[in-house]
């Protein structure tokens, strides 16, 4: 058996996205790579899974290819589930998701298919990282990010990631010489001020496009938004345990009837 680490790669932009191709290139230098990714873009799917439909899994790599690749008809979380249960012959040492075309910093982590795939791996007890570049263009240049992605993945393999923790990594859209390094941060307190662009079909039926403005309310210098605005790659440790532990004591002061 190979002694190289086994690395599972997925994303939410689809298996043909330039971002995942860049991530494959980096991970192939670190271990044996298997890719299971959506067959079409799944951005903003969050942690959705497929319950009321079948899933299709198609092998897209060819004999002789360095990396085994599958496309899946489901969501990013589906891809991780089916990879672990139907594709891989051993548990991966690391799951990496991305490189996402666009930011998943701050509150965006809640909506992100990229991060939900990584979180699904974390739920399964697999160390996981989500990588995102702050450029939404299909033609985004991922070259400057590769050095740092490799460093973070190498550290994850060497030093391990604690159980229940997933790393959310966001990379400014800057040239290699402009990137200042890596900062471990907390998630900024920010939100979307959403609007709906209301229109009508030629038949007179109303329809809506979701639009909005991202607003950062956090003035702290230890946040992911601050790091990104100042040329640093942000690394935020997140968890899937959503319990507000600090609030439990207060809730216990409420009066409940038996």
| Tens-place pLDDT, residues 184-240 | 999 999 999 989 999 999 999 999 999 888 899 999 999 999 999 999 999 999 999
Q: What is the pTM of this model?
A: 0.93
Fill in the DSSP letter of residue 133: E
Amino acid 3: pLDDT: 82
Amino acid 2: pLDDT: 55
Nearest 5 degrees, angle CA 74-CA 20-CA 108? 70
Fill in the DSSP letter of residue 5: P
On the question of pLDDT at 11 being above 50, the answer is yes
Q: Which of 44-48, 114-118, 153-157, 164-168 has the lowest mean pLDDT?
A: 44-48
CA distances from 5 to 26, 33, 94, 197, 216 (A): 13, 8, 8, 48, 39
Amino acid 148: pLDDT: 97
Domain spanning 6-186+221-251: CATH superfamily: Survival protein SurE-like phosphatase/nucleotidase (3.40.1210.10)
Amino acid 5: pLDDT: 96
Q: Are 19 and 133 in contact (CB under 8 A)?
A: yes
173 is in an annotated binding site: no
By percentage, how much of the chain surpasses pLDDT 70?
Answer: 99
The terminus-to-terminus CA distance of the chain in angstroms comes to: 59
139 is in an annotated binding site: no
**C-alpha span between 140 and 103 (Å, rounded):** 12
Amino acid 1: pLDDT: 45
97 is in an annotated binding site: no
12 is in an annotated binding site: yes
How many C-beta neighbours within 10 Å does residue 91 have? 12
Tokens encoding 3: 């002694």
Mean pLDDT computed over 34-40: 96
Model confidence pLDDT, tens digit, residues 42-66: 888 889 999 999 999 999 998 888 8
On the question of pLDDT at 168 being above 80, the answer is yes
Amino acid 63: pLDDT: 86
Q: What would the DSSP string read from start to end of 174-221? A: --GGG--EEEE-BPP-EEEEEEEEEEE-TTS-EEEEEEEEEEE----S
How many C-beta neighbours within 10 Å does residue 218 have? 16
Domain ranges of the chain: 6-186+221-251
Amino acid 75: pLDDT: 96
Q: Which of 111-120, 164-173, 212-221, 228-237 has the lowest mean pLDDT?
A: 212-221
CA distances from 146 to 92, 107, 138, 149, 179 (A): 21, 25, 17, 5, 12
């Amino acid at each position: 058996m190979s002694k190289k680490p086994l690395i599972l790669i997925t994303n939410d932009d689809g298996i043909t996205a330039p971002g995942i191709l860049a991530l494959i290139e980096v991970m192939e230098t670190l271990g044996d790579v298997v890719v299971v990714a959506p067959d079409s873009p799944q951005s903003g799917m969050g942690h959705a899974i497929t319950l009321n439909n079948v899933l299709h899994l198609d092998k897209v790599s060819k004999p002789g290819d360095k990396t085994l690749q599958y496309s899946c008809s489901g969501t990013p979380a589906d891809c991780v589930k089916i990879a672990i249960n139907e594709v891989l012959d051993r548990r991966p040492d690391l799951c990496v998701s991305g490189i996402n075309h666009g930011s998943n910093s701050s509150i965006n982590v809640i909506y992100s298919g990229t991060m939900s795939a990584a979180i699904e791996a974390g739920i399964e007890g697999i160390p996981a990282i989500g990588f995102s570049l702050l450029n939404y263009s299909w033609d985004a240049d991922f070259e400057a990010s590769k050095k740092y992605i490799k460093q973070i993945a190498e550290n994850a393999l060497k030093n391990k990631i604690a159980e229940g923790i997933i790393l959310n990594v966001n990379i400014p859209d800057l040239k290699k010489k402009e990137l200042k390094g890596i900062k471990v941060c907390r998630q900024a307190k920010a939100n979307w001020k959403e609007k709906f662009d209301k229109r009508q079909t030629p038949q007179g039926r109303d329809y809506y496009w979701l639009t909005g403005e991202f607003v950062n309310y956090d003035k702290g210098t230890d946040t992911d938004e601050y790091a990104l605005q100042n040329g640093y790659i942000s690394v935020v440790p997140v968890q899937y345990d959503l319990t507000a532990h600090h609030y439990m004591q207060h809730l216990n002061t409420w009066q409940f009837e038996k």
